[in-house]
A and B are shown apart, each in its own frame.
Chain A
């Protein structure tokens, strides 16, 4: 009930205050709207904004902080032997939240934990009730204050417009906020990770086996966090994907742009675009259950030993996925080459293909390079195809018939399931994420620059 009910309540209050604010303005105008500075609806909106905005902000801020404050309160009441050990603490917190949700009957835990669970439940109830009360108080205060300000001379429209301008600025700032959020959340955990594993070992180590012992007496490898095998695997699969996507995408773009009749284009272009709209999980399923067995069986006929999770299968399917991306981008670029260049070439007696190869393609080359770089960044960041069709073992190989693993696959396998935010194993996923983010960002910025520069050249 809580959140959606609260939001509905805020909306209802806003509607009410709009109505009353408008009525008040009409009453004050004495029947002649021209006595008012603004339209009656502006006065209504003014009151509604003063009611809704503070209340909405309160609900958001409250929900951001409620969880961590309550958790801090619970932890402060737990005995030191639990809070001293992070592993024990996360286990205890888990059971406490289970008990609080009423699902803890089967747990065999100490009475302190059960008490804490009850306390958590009561704290949550109190917090929710308090939120409702505070929110109503804030909303009514807002209504009362703004309602009293209504006056035929008040500049209601200007006020409303100023507020809405700030709302719009805030919305635009969310784009910056999410970038900042990405950078900070990745950096924060990655720094944790690098305090356990040296960045040099991470970036240049040749062995990747993140399974560390959770308890001291457990038999497990010590954990090696050399990410080079992952980078090699990612590059190998990207290379295979590009070997499919670049020639096919480029030639389809050339044919669509220079040769195809408009009828053919009307059918073929949307059909190609379908390839871009298919969800990646579908490609992953296709790679794992159709392409990989096909390659393995045919490889066996040829006497090749193809792994059932080969880099080739994942790369080929990823290439198919990226074809429309390459083709639409390079189509854009080539259509921007000025007609005069074409006419000049035809005038000298060149055939169409000679014009394309010797005039249009070189002229469009920077743009095409940009498009290919964007496609590379796509391929590096692609997750589901490789999770489903590439392997988990970090083999250091450039043989496309063997299983390799990629950065994204490792992020998924490290973070799906139980997570402990104090083990190097979990944290390494964030370090990998940071590398992924920086590399794709660099590629994108560079590619966009190239494309832009090229655009200016012919504008």
Chain B
């Protein structure tokens, strides 16, 4: 019954179509013109959507770069305060021994405080004095000591010295703390701002290039905190990662591409590699925590453990890139080598691998760049500790650049915002360099067979 009904319907539809087919279409009719106009408008709209999608993505990129740059550029400069410091012989070296051990133990902090009190003699109350000492950073006394150790002739003299300022004072000088805000809701009170104005009008406040940011380890004081410790930690971690994942990755790729028979084992390996490439990075962190720390008892927070964890993560990237590079070497090369009597292993090591090497290296560098930017798995294995010392080896506790960024981003001090952004700029600079090198390699050695 339903068949019959649908057949009737089809017949009716066919009749309509055939009736219309006999009528010639009037291409100049206003109806067609309207229709074409509509379709062209839809076309333009569609094209505009596509363009604006790319625009949105690029806009996001610019906003990201702009916000990091505008927040961070000021961290490369640091406020210094000029004070007249009296290198009092009675304080530094009372017996006139000139012995560095005696000088090293002297109370340079006291000298700076004395200099501050001399500069602002009107400050008397205990609280106000404490605020006053905040103008100069706690790290300034070490600088002063070094200066005197280098040049003992300073003892007994009075000199104008540039001293590194405290973080709040630095923020005020950089304009991040505004004097117009209500006193209760800013970090510095009116008195401190008056001191700043007074120093500023004397020309005793200047911004210098902040080399310490590149040479120091982490610190609780923003003005003393630097990225060198994290950079060295990243270096050790990446060295371990590279030392493991490059040979293992290349060997695996060569085997799978050149020697592996098509059997169950090979299929399982291939499925595993593809899946590992898509496992969330934090799961690798859990693996590292359980296997390397709980089972193998390797040291916590050490670059070795970080490197081992990241090596497993970068392995799929390297294997996939290496396989593609090996596959791109034309079979004629292999046939020629085999024809001249080379063994399969010799063919691969003497001919295929050297020809595939640029591609393999490109993939490796990209994998290393990923590892350099990775944070989450390293949080799991304890690389988030607060570490002041520069790590001296792959077994010392260390942190890495992205984790340092995470730690600073969590710090409440205003001055750490600019440090974080500056550290991000350094990290991005490394990534750009690595990726740029990969692109260069590809362009330089790319071969069209």
A255 and B255 form a contact (CB under 8 A)? no
Bound: A286/B72 CA distance, A = 12
B259 and A255 form a contact (CB under 8 A)? no
A169 and B272 form a contact (CB under 8 A)? no
Contacts A178-B276, A284-B406: A171 and B255 contacting too (C-beta < 8 A)? yes
Chain B residues with CB under 8 Å of A381's CB are 279-283
A286 and B315 form a contact (CB under 8 A)? no
Chain B residues with CB under 8 Å of A181's CB are 287, 291
Q: What class of interface size applies to chain A in its complex with B?
A: 35 or more
Give the top 3 A-B pairs by smallest Cβ distance, nearest first: A381-B280, A67-B297, A255-B50
Chain A residues with CB under 8 Å of B375's CB are 279-281, 383-384
Chain A residues with CB under 8 Å of B410's CB are 388
B269 and A248 form a contact (CB under 8 A)? no
B272 and A176 form a contact (CB under 8 A)? yes
A268 and B281 form a contact (CB under 8 A)? no
B68 and A286 form a contact (CB under 8 A)? yes
A182 and B287 form a contact (CB under 8 A)? yes
Question: Looking at the complex, which one of A168, A382, A412 makes contact with B259 (CB distance below 8 Å)?
Answer: A168
Bound: A259/B50 CA distance, A = 9
Residue A8 lies at the interface, judged by CB distance under 8 Å to chain B:
no
Contacts A165-B259, A408-B282: A278 and B57 contacting too (C-beta < 8 A)? no
Contacts A161-B343, A320-B57, A383-B282: A353 and B46 contacting too (C-beta < 8 A)? yes
Bound: A437/B285 CA distance, A = 12
Bound: A72/B298 CA distance, A = 15
B54 and A272 form a contact (CB under 8 A)? yes
Chain B, Cβ-Cβ closest to A65: B296
Chain A, Cβ-Cβ closest to B377: A383
Chain A residues with CB under 8 Å of B273's CB are 175
- B252 CB to closest chain A CB (Å) equals 4
Chain A residues with CB under 8 Å of B338's CB are none
Bound: A285/B278 CA distance, A = 24
B255 and A169 form a contact (CB under 8 A)? yes
- A97 CB to closest chain B CB (Å) equals 9
Interface residues of B in 237-256 (CB under 8 A from A): 247-249, 251-252, 254-256
Q: Which among B4-12, B59-67, B131-139, B173-181 touches the partner chain?
A: B59-67
Residue A289 lies at the interface, judged by CB distance under 8 Å to chain B:
yes
* A positions within 8 Å CB-CB of B: 2-4, 63-64, 66-68, 71, 157, 160-161, 164-165, 167-169, 171-176, 178-179, 181-182, 185-186, 188-189, 247-252, 254-256, 258-259, 268, 271-272, 274-275, 277-286, 288-290, 320, 323-324, 327, 351-354, 356-357, 374, 377-378, 380-384, 387-388, 408, 411-412, 415-416, 421, 429-430, 433, 436-437, 440-441, 444-445, 448
Chain B residues with CB under 8 Å of A436's CB are 280, 282-283
A412 and B282 form a contact (CB under 8 A)? yes
A178 and B280 form a contact (CB under 8 A)? no
Bound: A278/B61 CA distance, A = 10
Bound: A441/B272 CA distance, A = 11
Contacts A282-B405, A290-B67, A383-B282: A175 and B53 contacting too (C-beta < 8 A)? no
Contacts A67-B298, A165-B259, A383-B281: A248 and B406 contacting too (C-beta < 8 A)? no
Interface residues of B in 17-55 (CB under 8 A from A): 39-40, 42-43, 45-47, 49-54
What are 19 sample pairs from A and B whose C-beta atoms fall under 8 A apart? A2-B395, A3-B394, A171-B248, A171-B249, A175-B272, A178-B315, A182-B286, A255-B50, A255-B51, A277-B373, A283-B64, A286-B68, A290-B67, A327-B57, A351-B39, A377-B280, A387-B379, A412-B379, A416-B384
Interface residues of B in 292-322 (CB under 8 A from A): 294-298, 304, 312, 315-316, 319
B50 and A384 form a contact (CB under 8 A)? no
A281 and B49 form a contact (CB under 8 A)? no
Bound: A354/B47 CA distance, A = 11
Best-surrounded residue of A172, A290, A354, A448 (most CB of chain B within 10 A): A172
A380 and B379 form a contact (CB under 8 A)? no
Question: Looking at the complex, which one of A247, A284, A421 makes contact with B409 (CB distance below 8 Å)?
Answer: A284
- A396 CB to closest chain B CB (Å) equals 23
Bound: A73/B316 CA distance, A = 39
Bound: A440/B274 CA distance, A = 13
A323 and B57 form a contact (CB under 8 A)? yes
Chain B residues with CB under 8 Å of A157's CB are 343
Chain B, Cβ-Cβ closest to A183: B287
Bound: A124/B188 CA distance, A = 53
Bound: A408/B282 CA distance, A = 8
Interface of B is mostly: helix
B296 and A251 form a contact (CB under 8 A)? no
A280 and B279 form a contact (CB under 8 A)? no
Chain A residues with CB under 8 Å of B109's CB are none
Chain A, Cβ-Cβ closest to B312: A178
Bound: A67/B395 CA distance, A = 14
Interface residues of B in 356-373 (CB under 8 A from A): 369, 372-373
Chain B residues with CB under 8 Å of A421's CB are 294
B58 and A268 form a contact (CB under 8 A)? yes
Chain A, Cβ-Cβ closest to B247: A171
- A338 CB to closest chain B CB (Å) equals 22
Chain A residues with CB under 8 Å of B161's CB are none
- B326 CB to closest chain A CB (Å) equals 12
Chain B residues with CB under 8 Å of A278's CB are 64, 373, 428, 431
Contacts A68-B297, A421-B294: A255 and B54 contacting too (C-beta < 8 A)? yes
Residue B424 lies at the interface, judged by CB distance under 8 Å to chain A:
yes
Question: Looking at the complex, which one of A165, A254, A289, A353 makes contact with B417 (CB distance below 8 Å)?
Answer: A289
Residue B154 lies at the interface, judged by CB distance under 8 Å to chain A:
no
Contacts A173-B269, A174-B315, A351-B39: A281 and B405 contacting too (C-beta < 8 A)? yes
Bound: A445/B276 CA distance, A = 11
Residue B268 lies at the interface, judged by CB distance under 8 Å to chain A:
yes
- A125 CB to closest chain B CB (Å) equals 15
Chain B residues with CB under 8 Å of A173's CB are 269
Question: Looking at the complex, which one of B251, B266, B289, B424 makes contact with A167 (CB distance below 8 Å)?
Answer: B251
Residue B74 lies at the interface, judged by CB distance under 8 Å to chain A:
no
Question: Looking at the complex, which one of B63, B286, B297 makes contact with A430 (CB distance below 8 Å)?
Answer: B286
Chain B, Cβ-Cβ closest to A101: B299
Residue B393 lies at the interface, judged by CB distance under 8 Å to chain A:
yes
Residue B435 lies at the interface, judged by CB distance under 8 Å to chain A:
yes
Given A174-B248, A384-B406, 8 other A-B residues pairs in contact with their CB atoms under 8 A = A4-B393, A161-B344, A168-B252, A277-B373, A286-B67, A383-B375, A416-B379, A448-B274
Residue B374 lies at the interface, judged by CB distance under 8 Å to chain A:
yes
Question: Looking at the complex, which one of A254, A382, A445 makes contact with B280 (CB distance below 8 Å)?
Answer: A382
Chain A residues with CB under 8 Å of B61's CB are 271, 274-275
- A268 CB to closest chain B CB (Å) equals 6
Residue B190 lies at the interface, judged by CB distance under 8 Å to chain A:
no
A352 and B269 form a contact (CB under 8 A)? no
Residue B420 lies at the interface, judged by CB distance under 8 Å to chain A:
yes
Chain A residues with CB under 8 Å of B294's CB are 421
- B381 CB to closest chain A CB (Å) equals 9
Best-surrounded residue of A278, A281, A437 (most CB of chain B within 10 A): A281
- B417 CB to closest chain A CB (Å) equals 7
B255 and A168 form a contact (CB under 8 A)? yes
Chain B residues with CB under 8 Å of A280's CB are 373, 375-376
Chain B residues with CB under 8 Å of A178's CB are 272, 276, 287, 312, 315
Chain B residues with CB under 8 Å of A283's CB are 64
Question: Looking at the complex, which one of B45, B283, B394 makes contact with A182 (CB distance below 8 Å)?
Answer: B283
